[in-house]
Structures are given as C-alpha cells and as structure tokens.
Amino acid sequence: MTPAQVERNKNRYNNEILKNHLLLDKHQLAEFFGVSLKTISRWTKDGILPAPGRGFRQEKLWRSRDIKAIIDRMGAPV
C-alpha cells in the first residue's frame, strides 16, 4: 500500500465499513481501499495486510482493528 493510497482513503477511515464491522471479508476490504480483489490477495501475500482468520464457512476474514492499525502506521489520521 502506498502513501498515496492511504492519503486517498483518509476520508474513508471512519466510514461505515470500519465502524460497523468487527470482521471484514475480501470484498469489503477491496471496496474500502478502492482496489481489486487481486490486490487484496497480493497485499496479504506480501505482508502488507495481516494474515486473515477463517470464518464459519472458511471464508477469509480480517479484523477491522488490524486494518485501522495499518492505516495508523501508514499515516492516516485517527
């Protein structure tokens, strides 16, 4: 994730996705960051995003607090 992508998402930081969900799936992350599903997979593989957990149906899920922490580290305001 580049600083430009973090900058672009500053206004989305407190949006409904992060406020109302404890767990986020790949589609929600892609929507939040404005990237493709392939990019979410690549960021996970490259270690930019943490390894996801598995839900009841074995879907990949990320904790919203982990995503908030990444954004904080990249310099987006809280």
Summarize pLDDT for 19-38 with one digit per residue, the tens: 666 888 999 999 888 899 99
Of 11, 13, 8, 4, the closest CA to residue 71 belongs to 13
Question: How many angstroms separate the first and last alpha carbons of the chain?
Answer: 18
Domain ranges of the chain: 3-74
Q: % helix / strand / coil in the chain, to the nearest 5?
A: 55, 10, 35
- 3-74 — its CATH code? 1.10.1660
Beta strands in 1-78 (DSSP E): 23-25, 53-54, 60-63
Q: One-letter amino acid identity for 36?
A: S
pTM across the whole model:
0.69
Give residue-wise pLDDT tens across range 34-78: 899 999 999 999 998 999 988 888 889 999 888 888 887 776 554
